[in-house]
């Protein structure tokens, strides 16, 4: 994992503020500082301040932008127990304001929670349910377990499709799954949100992307929508690989990373 910490010029923080942690034990920290957590307890990949305008968005890179007091963490994947998740946790444990929060990323990637939270925030969402084996048809279905990711969803239109897909996403019935019923004529769309902005999307989707960002604060996210008539409803949020970014999206993200776009 490459980590780059990028400060806004007025609030420059030298990389020495978070030196790479030596192999320290908790006891050693207690003895040295007297404050068990006031040290480099969390191990961290070496950090580089990056002043370039075109940061390298290579696989597994993690960027940390500081604007004012707020740290923004940009990554391909915020999932539980990843390096990114632990980076967020480290900031939270040190009492530093960070976006997204660890609880927001957990909420975002577990589909039913994501939809319930979005609904309470006024974002139109798909109607969902949880099942152990049955789904109304047609539907879009997501796994709901330790190994599931919202990137892996299945659209099922008949019983045979549903049977195979459910077998796959439930690990042969071991786990429940989340289904969302699709109305006749509904279509499934996805787009990428970059700090709440989208490239070349209609007004309706752009507005939803802003709302999703204002609520979950995930800088880089795939939004899956179900469109019925002219209405878009949120179906899930999922990780984004840098390699998935199209030219304009890459330019937009690079602009944020190099401070040409302001948060």
Partner 1 sequence: MTRLGIFVDRKTLSNSEQLNALIRCRDVAEGMGHDVDFIFPVDINKIPGMDALFIRARTDPMNVTYVAARMASMHGIPVIDDPRSIQICSDKVNMYSHLIKNRISVPVTVFLSKNDLTIENVTNLFNELGSPLIIKEPSTSFSLRVEKVHDITGFFRVARRFIKLSDWIVVQQYIESKYDWRVGVLDGKLLYACKYTIPSDTFKIQASVNGHIVYCGVESVSPDKVPPHVIRLGIAAADAIGSGLYGVDIKNNNGDAYVIEVNDNPSIESGEDDCYPRIFEQIVTHLFTK
Q: Which residues bind partner 1 (CB under 8 A)?
A: 1, 23-30, 36-37, 41-43, 45, 80-83, 85-86, 89, 93, 102-103, 106-107, 110, 112-113, 116-117, 120, 129-132, 144-146, 148, 174-176
Q: In whole angstroms, how close is the CB of 123 to partner 1 at the nearest point?
A: 14
Read off the tokens for 172: 């042969």
Nearest residue (CB) to partner 1, 8 versus 175: 175
Q: Which helix (H) or strand (E) element contains residue 237? A: strand 231-238
Which residue's entry shows tokens 């994501």? 114
Reduced to 3 states (helix: H, G, I; strand: E, B; else coil), residue 66 is: strand
CB of 83 to partner 1, least distance (A): 4
Lay out the sheet containing 187-194: strands in order across.
Answer: 187-194, 220-228, 231-238
Answer whether 188's CB lies under 8 Å from 235's CB: yes
Q: What's the closest the beta carbon of residue 79 comes to partner 1, in angstroms?
A: 9
Quick one: 52 or 96, whose CB is closer to partner 1? 96
Of 30 and 204, which has the nearer Cβ to partner 1?
A: 30
CB-wise, 102 or 198, nearer to partner 1?
102
CB 61 within 8 A of CB 2: yes
Cα gap 17→12, rounded to integer Å: 11
Q: State the nearest-atom distance from the C-beta of 228 to partner 1, in Å.
A: 21
């Amino acid at each position: 994992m490459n980590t780059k910490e990028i400060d806004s010029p007025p609030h420059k923080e030298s990389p020495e503020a978070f030196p790479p942690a030596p192999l320290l034990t908790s006891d050693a920290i207690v003895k040295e500082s007297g404050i068990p957590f006031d040290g480099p307890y969390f191990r961290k990949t070496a950090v580089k301040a990056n002043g370039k305008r075109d940061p390298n968005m290579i696989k597994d890179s993690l960027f940390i932008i500081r604007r004012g007091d707020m740290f923004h963490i940009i990554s391909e994947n915020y999932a539980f127990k990843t390096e990114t998740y632990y980076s967020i946790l480290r900031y939270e444990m040190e009492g530093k304001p960070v976006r997204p929060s660890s609880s927001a990323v957990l909420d975002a990637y577990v589909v039913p929670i994501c939809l319930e939270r979005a609904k309470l925030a006024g974002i139109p969402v798909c109607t969902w349910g949880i099942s152990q084996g049955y789904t109304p048809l047609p539907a879009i279905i997501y796994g709901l377990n330790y190994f599931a990711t919202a990137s892996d969803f299945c659209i099922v239109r008949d019983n045979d499709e549903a049977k195979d897909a459910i077998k796959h996403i439930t690990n042969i019935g071991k786990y429940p799954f989340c289904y969302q019923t699709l109305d006749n004529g509904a279509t499934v769309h996805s787009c990428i949100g970059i700090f709440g902005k989208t490239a070349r999307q209609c007004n309706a989707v752009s507005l939803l992307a802003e709302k999703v960002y204002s609520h979950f604060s995930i800088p880089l996210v795939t939004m899956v929508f179900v469109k019925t008539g002219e209405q878009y409803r949120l179906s899930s949020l999922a990780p984004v690989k840098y390699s998935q970014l199209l030219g304009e999206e890459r330019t937009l993200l690079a602009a944020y990373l190099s401070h040409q776009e302001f948060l």
